[in-house]
Structure 1
Amino acid sequence: MVDTAVPLTAPADSTRSTNRPERKRKVRRLTGRDKLTVAFMVVVPSIVVLGLIWLPAIASVVLSFTRWNGIGTLQGSDFIGGENYVNVTTIYPPFWPAIQHNLIWLAVMFFVATPIGMFLAVLLDKEMRGGRIYQTALFLPVVLSLALIGFIWQLIFSRDQGLLNAVTGSQIDWFGDQKYNLWAALVATTWRQVGYIMLLYLAGLKAVDASLREAAAIDGATEGQAFFRVVLPVLRPINIIVLVVTFIESLRAFDLVWIINKGRNGLELISTLVTQNVVGEASRIGFGSALATFMLVISSIFIALYLRVVMKGDER
């Protein structure tokens, strides 16, 4: 008996292509309102940066070649060439001590505040009990104003009513004596800077892949070896950021020193010298602009080196 049943499904046509052309995605064109919004978002920040950063910087460089005191119109006879720069480096006594103090400030921030901040970040990264409370307490000095920080440390370093002298029984004027005031100011600054560095490293540690530490542990590395040989190299971008922040903060250190004694009597810094000459009693804007140009050149050199390192890292 011959089976004459017809199959329920017919075979697909072999000549029919199974690949259908994809539909072209519609590209949304910007409307006039969108273009206006984009232009507004680009132009306004550019004007702000140009007006508040670039133009004052260029004006400072130009004024550094003058003897202008800020009164009256700038005349052609006010231009004296590089005389201000010669005077700054030769006959202005506070300049070289200020350079030395800025270098000491940088060394303390880099070799003291940075390791302490890193160490605290490693401890808090272990998810210890009460870690949020410790993190908040350590970061609190960062959000306080410099005026309030100066007042807090005045209660500690005051000669007559300070906590430190009350405990030790000494009569040292920590903020008044030039043998101690720089180091007292550095203690207060370190107290504030540690919390910021801690937060930067803590954010970097949270982003480190846990498998890297597990692999190091399997290979027999101790916790310290795993951190310095595996974790720390991964934190290279954070290290660069911390280095840049430390350098900039050391160069522009101003607020706390100005609150203590306006940058005099052993607390001279480049930033305070600029303020004393530009807005102080002397009002030597040309001379102060020369000091500000020194700061600009030093900052530009370091920023150029930083950008070079970052760009080389991106190429790799």
Structure 2
Amino acid sequence: MTAHPETTSPPRNTEAGRDRPSRAAKPRNQRVRRLSAADRVVVGLMVGIPTLVVLVLVWFPAVATVLLSFTDWNGIGAVSDIHVIGATNYVNVATNYPPFWPALQHNLIWLGVLFVVATPAGMFLAVLLDKQIKGSRFYQTALYLPVVLSLALVGFIWQLIYSRDQGLLNAVLGTQVDWYGDPRYNLWAALVATCWKHIGYVMLLYLAGLKAVDASLREAAAIDGANERQAFFRIVFPVMRPINVIVLVITVIEALRAFDLVWIINKGRNGLEVIAALVTANVVGEASRIGFGSAMATIMLIISSIFVAVYVTIVIRERQP
């Protein structure tokens, strides 16, 4: 008899065979669900309406403001009456308009006070509330309450405090100072009212940032012997860099668009000149110099855009792998 060589076959129904994916297996064809006509209409409305609102209420006025800043249009007459005068409005703003430089100085003071006083105060309150002290919920609500109020309403509230005859401040100090009317004090009085609102906003932003910080970082700092102050400024504060950038941009924008409060007080006059009030006075005031006011508005737009571009650049770099 001749010996036949044994033929071996691959094992069947083994654990390895079941776990090993088959190369010949093909993925199932997934059927792509097509939107119906009604769904396409709904999606189109959900995308189109917000886009249209942004274009009409944001981009169109911004572009129109920049274009009108190169004209001498006074807002009266047809479009054909608009004459292009180049950069004359910008030259007049810088050289022939005395209130502009004091207004720019006041905006810079506004920015400095918000950045040096209100922002650190809001951050300090956020650190205290993050420790879950007794009554922290009440304090958080009380400090954030001014944020939901408009600056116009804030001006009326502080009018009750600053009133010369019946104000709370003069009653406590025993004085007869017109805090809103005296140009020596009205800017600082308005800044106190603004800080009252800005502190609550900064506190909320930093409180949200502190809640997102990994607790293990603080534990590691404590193990290394760092106290609370060292752990905050060397570990926690650098980790909250995105919050710091957001607070910086918001503070700059708030300082540049300071308008509601000063307009309620005295329409941005008598020591309270700010750029936004000058823009409003020239665009909708008695002079109605829309081209001239648009030039100042464009200057504000350029300054704000610089800080917004810095913020967007930092965010994009942080999201890149």
Q: Do the structures match in fold with TM over 0.5?
A: yes
The CA distance in 2 between the partners of 1:175 and 1:216, in whole Å, is 49
- C-alpha separation between the residues in 2 aligned to 1:76 and 1:151? 42
Residue 17 of structure 1 aligns with which residue? 17
Shift in CA distance, 14/196, structure 1 to aligned 2, threshold 3 Å: closer
Write the letter of the residue equivalent to 2:65: S
Alignment partner of 1:222 is 2:222: no
Instruction: Tell me if 1:67 matches 2:72.
Output: yes
Q: Give the whole-Å Cα distance in 2 for the aligned partners of 1:263 and 1:291.
A: 15
Of 27, 31, 37 in structure 1, the residue corresponding to residue 35 of structure 2 is 31
Does the Cα contact within 8 Å between 2:73 and 2:81 map onto a contact in 1? no
Secondary structure at 1:17 match in 2: helix
Match in the other structure for 1:107 = 112
Structure 1: give runs of 5+ residues left out of the alignment: 1-10
Partner of 2:154: 149
Q: TM-score, normalised by structure 1?
A: 0.91
- Distance between the aligned counterparts of 1:191 and 1:96, measured in 2? 27
Structure 1 residue 75: deviation in Å? 2.9
- String of CA shifts for 1:240-261, please: whole Å, max 9, x gaps: 1111111111111111111011
Shift of 1:308: 2.0
- Written as runs of structure 1 = structure 2, the 5 A alignment for 1:264-275 is 264-275=269-280
The Cα of 1:58 is off from its aligned counterpart by: 1.0
Question: Percent identity among equivalent residues?
Answer: 68
Alpha-carbon deviation of 1:76?
A: 5.5
Q: Distance in 2 between matches of 1:305 and 1:66?
A: 30
User: Aligned partners of 2:141, 2:244: CA distance in 1, in Å?
Assistant: 22
Question: Which residue is equivalent to 2:7?
Answer: none
1:146-193 deviations in Å (ceiling 9; x for gaps): 232112111111111111111112222111111110000000000011
- Residue 237 of structure 1 corresponds to which residue in structure 2? 242
CA RMSD of aligned residues (A): 1.9
Which residue pairs with 2:5 in the alignment?
A: none
Is the 2:184–2:271 Cα contact (8 Å) retained in structure 1?
A: yes
Q: Which residue of 1 aligns with 2:103?
A: 98
* Greater shift in the superposed pair: 31-40 or 116-125: 31-40
Structure 1 segments of 4 or more deviating over 4 A?
11-16, 20-23
1:314 and 1:25 map into 2 onto residues whose CA distance is 34
For 1:4-57, what per-residue CA distance to the aligned partner results, in whole angstroms no more than 9, with x for missing partners?
A: xxxxxxx96459932354853735423134333333222222111111111111
Question: Gaps (5+ residues) in structure 2?
Answer: 1-10
In the alignment of these two chains, the number of paired residues is 306
1:309 and 2:314 correspond:
yes
- Contact 2:75 2:288 survives alignment (8 Å): yes
- 2:222 is the alignment partner of 1:196: no
In 2, the alpha carbon distance for the partners of 1:53 and 1:71 equals 23
Contact 2:73 2:82 survives alignment (8 Å): no
Change (3 A) 1:17 1:123: same
